[in-house]
Structure 1
Amino acid sequence: MLEVHHVSRSFAQRLVLDDISFIVPSGALTGFVGANGAGKTTTMRIIMGLLNASSGHVSLNGSELSGDTRPNFGYMPEERGLYPKQPVIDQLLYLGQLHGITRAESRKRAMDLLARFGLEDRAKSKLESLSLGNQQRVQVAASLLHEPDVLILDEPFSGLDPLAVDAMSSILRDYAARGVPVLFSSHQLDLLDVLVDHLVIIQEGKILANSSADDLRASQASRHRLSLGADAGWLRDEPGVSVIDLSGSQALVNFESEADSQRVLAKALGLGTVSEFAVHRPSLADIYREII
């Protein structure tokens, strides 16, 4: 398990990370989400040792990170770092050898990864000749070439088409299944519900949520969606009912108890048609928006 312990960081007297702590469980896909400037990239750079924390530290399986452990990490930075005028395969072979992998094994791994992204026929192309989305795929392949023990990916889905998103998701799930902690940031909230096992939400340098996806959903499981035959405004005056959203005959509410829900249902039926009365399972994107 990767753990961030009470990390703070300032730039020129401006506090950008304020005593943040969270975990990235082994064998789980952890989404790291927040608005631009919330502190995601700074946190990832501190995890990778590219920036020093003003205070606090990062540990893996209980041991503080050092120069000996980070080479086994896979990292894809926000600023892509490959060489535009060099052939794709040459760069991957070079990076593999930097990690101590033989040239032959580096070639095998590189071609396997390029094949998973549908790029095996572009292995000898210069990087700059590829579309931005395909350059992104190569950058991801570079971060996976040495089969890392931890994955830290800053916006890995940016610029990918739907097929590449599927390929990326499959690769990340494979790594999680091996027990690898995977932390990735993304602005594509629709991916959260179908991909992440754990969610960390950061806003203005503070952690607002750090929990499993199931626990976040369970915390809001008492919500109900109602669709009535007439205006649902009367729900605002009902005891034991908190109205979360209401528009005409549609409402999203929270009941304090099962007795309250049954009482409201009986009243709604007495007033007219009820076409929907069901437990509402909020998406993680909904939960993120509400927390923010």
Structure 2
Amino acid sequence: MLQISEVTKSFGQRRVLTDVSFDVARGRLTGFVGGNGAGKTTTMRIVLGVLHADSGTVSLDGHAIGGEDLRGVGYMPEERGLYPKMTVLDQLVYLARLHGIDKAGATRRADALLDRLGLAERRKDALESLSLGNQQRVQIAAALVHDPDVLILDEPFSGLDPLAVDEVVTVVAEHAARGIPVLFSSHQLDVVERLCDDVVVIAGGAIRARGTREELRERYAGDRWRMTATTDAGWVRTVPGVRVEELAGVAVTFGAPEAAAQEVLRGAVERGGVTAFAPVRPTLGEIFRDVVVDHARSEKETAA
């Protein structure tokens, strides 16, 4: 398990991380989400040893992460850092050999990844001749070519079309299934929600929410309900304490405390019956907006 514990970091007088703590379990994909400047990349760079924390620790399987551990990390930075004039295959082989893999083994691994990522036909092309999306695929291959023990990806889906996202998701999920910790950041919350086992939300340099995908959806569900009745549901608007959000004939989505929601359910049964009734679970995007809005509100109250 990769563990980040009470990590704090400042640049000069500006505090950018405050007591950041979360775990990245083996065999699980952890999505790290936050707005621009929230602290995601700084946290990742501290994990990698590129930056040093002012306080706090980063450990892997119970020991402080060090040089040998870091050599086994696969990292994809948000900024592309490959050689534009080298061929795709040559630079993947070169990077694999830097990790001590012999040339034949490095070539096999590079070819296999390029095939999985839909780039086999471009293996002999210079990187600069590829589209930005295909360059992103090569960058991902570079993070995977040495068969890493830990995988850290900073905005891996940036610039990818939906089909390319699916290809990358499949490859990354396969690596997680081998039992390695995978941490990645992304602004594409729908992809994070579909892919991740665990989610960490950061805002203002501090962790504001963390847990499994379903735990967060349960925690931030609020008092929202969706019902499908067998008769028109327009009458729900007259129930005290109920706020109708969407009404379409027999289907209604509404906000209400549980007691009022149960009153709606009883009323629908009396009027003919119910085919579906359940609390509404928010999307990750809705949870993220709630967390960020709550943080912004707290900041304003503190400033006042």
Normalising by structure 1, we get a TM-score of: 0.89
- The change in CA–CA distance for 1:231 and 1:13 in structure 2 (over 3 A counts) is farther
Alignment partner, residue 255 of structure 2: 253
Task: Output the CA distance in 2 between the equivalents of 1:252 and 1:191.
Answer: 27
- The change in CA–CA distance for 1:21 and 1:114 in structure 2 (over 3 A counts) is same
C-alpha contact 2:2 2:24 (8 A) present in aligned 1: yes
Alignment partner, residue 151 of structure 1: 151
User: Any idea what SS the aligned residue of 2:67 has?
Assistant: coil
In the alignment, structure 1 residue 230 sits paired with structure 2 residue 230 = no
Moved more, 25-34 or 224-233: 224-233
- The change in CA–CA distance for 1:157 and 1:120 in structure 2 (over 3 A counts) is same
C-alpha contact 2:20 2:205 (8 A) present in aligned 1: yes
Task: Output the CA distance in 1 between the equivalents of 2:51 and 2:235.
Answer: 56
What amino acid is the match of 1:56?
G
C-alpha contact 1:88 1:125 (8 A) present in aligned 2: yes
Task: Output the CA distance in 2 between the equivalents of 1:54 and 1:278.
Answer: 47
Alignment partner, residue 138 of structure 2: 138
Task: Output the CA distance in 2 between the equivalents of 1:5 and 1:254.
Answer: 39
User: Any idea what SS the aligned residue of 1:187 has?
Assistant: coil
User: Offset of 1:39 from its aligned partner?
Assistant: 0.5
Moved more, 156-165 or 128-137: 156-165
Alignment partner, residue 193 of structure 1: 193
Give the gaps of 5 or more residues in structure 1.
none
Task: Output the CA distance in 2 between the equivalents of 1:28 and 1:229.
Answer: 42
State the Cα deviation string for residues 183-216 of structure 1 (Å, max 9, x = none).
0001111112211100000001010111011222
Note the 1:98-247 alignment, pairs <5 A.
98-219=98-219, 220=221, 223-226=224-227, 229-230=233-234, 233-234=237-238, 237-238=240-241, 246=245
User: Any idea what SS the aligned residue of 1:56 has?
Assistant: strand
Alignment partner, residue 41 of structure 1: 41
State the Cα deviation string for residues 249-269 of structure 1 (Å, max 9, x = none).
754325435xx5332223467
Task: Output the CA distance in 2 between the equivalents of 1:168 and 1:106.
Answer: 20
C-alpha contact 1:192 1:285 (8 A) present in aligned 2: no
User: Offset of 1:217 from its aligned partner?
Assistant: 2.5
- Report the RMSD for the aligned CA atoms in angstroms: 2.4
Task: Output the CA distance in 2 between the equivalents of 1:43 and 1:234.
Answer: 50
State the Cα deviation string for residues 64-94 of structure 1 (Å, max 9, x = none).
1111210100000111110111111111111
Task: Output the CA distance in 2 between the equivalents of 1:37 and 1:247.
Answer: 35
User: Any idea what SS the aligned residue of 1:23 has?
Assistant: strand
C-alpha contact 1:151 1:182 (8 A) present in aligned 2: yes
Normalising by structure 2, we get a TM-score of: 0.86
User: Offset of 1:25 from its aligned partner?
Assistant: 1.1
What amino acid is the match of 1:3?
Q
User: Offset of 1:286 from its aligned partner?
Assistant: 2.4
Q: Which runs of 4+ in 1 moved over 6 A?
A: 269-276
Task: Output the CA distance in 1 between the equivalents of 2:226 and 2:166.
Answer: 31
C-alpha contact 2:152 2:184 (8 A) present in aligned 1: yes
C-alpha contact 1:23 1:210 (8 A) present in aligned 2: no
C-alpha contact 1:30 1:200 (8 A) present in aligned 2: yes
User: Any idea what SS the aligned residue of 1:26 has?
Assistant: coil
User: Any idea what SS the aligned residue of 1:156 has?
Assistant: coil
- The change in CA–CA distance for 1:231 and 1:129 in structure 2 (over 3 A counts) is farther
User: Any idea what SS the aligned residue of 1:143 has?
Assistant: helix
C-alpha contact 2:210 2:216 (8 A) present in aligned 1: no
Task: Output the CA distance in 1 between the equivalents of 2:193 and 2:209.
Answer: 16
User: Any idea what SS the aligned residue of 2:234 has?
Assistant: coil
What amino acid is the match of 1:119?
L
C-alpha contact 1:32 1:202 (8 A) present in aligned 2: yes
User: Any idea what SS the aligned residue of 1:163 has?
Assistant: helix
Note the 1:30-69 alignment, pairs <5 A.
30-69=30-69
State the Cα deviation string for residues 209-255 of structure 1 (Å, max 9, x = none).
110112222333874124764375545x42xx6x5x73577543254
What amino acid is the match of 1:160?
L
In the alignment, structure 1 residue 25 sits paired with structure 2 residue 29 = no
